[in-house]
Amino acid sequence: MSTHTVHLHRVICATPDKLYRAFLDADALAKWLPPHGYTGRVHSIDARTGGSYRMSFTHLGSGLSHSFGGEYLELVPGQRICHTDRFDDPNLLGEMRTTITFNAVSCGTEVSIVQEGIPAAIPLEGCYIGWQQSLQLLTQLVEAP
């Protein structure tokens, strides 16, 4: 089965700890992770190594939803998050692995994201656009005074 991998990099004017929290707080995730045009809902989150999460995105225009979830494989506060992702849609089989690293720099935090195992049915450019929109929303959330 063919899969895709995306690599993203941003420098965000916030501390590594604040960014780390934004990736693990249910209310924060629901606010910034859904790309433009979608709302998000976190159904459950157990932010610990071995814990899991479940959430869904709903398209505001069509009302169509898709849900997904995964397991936290590694959590190093302020430094690294690694988790799996699986879609509930039977047409999007397989398990993805997302690794987020946070590195303090002079003006904030360098954030690097690698998402591997993206189902081939999802266009790679669509993944990049979705992540870029999500990271724009994350930046607006964590850079707010």
CB 18 within 8 A of CB 38: no
Residue 145: pLDDT band with limits 50, 70, 90:
confident
Residue 51: pLDDT band with limits 50, 70, 90:
very high
Q: Where do the domains of the chain lie?
A: 3-142
- Report d(CA 118, CA 3) in Å as an integer: 5
- Report d(CA 10, CA 116) in Å as an integer: 18
pTM: 0.94
CATH number for the domain formed by residue range(s) 3-142: 3.30.530.20
pLDDT the model gives residue 64: 94
Structure tokens at 56: 């869904």
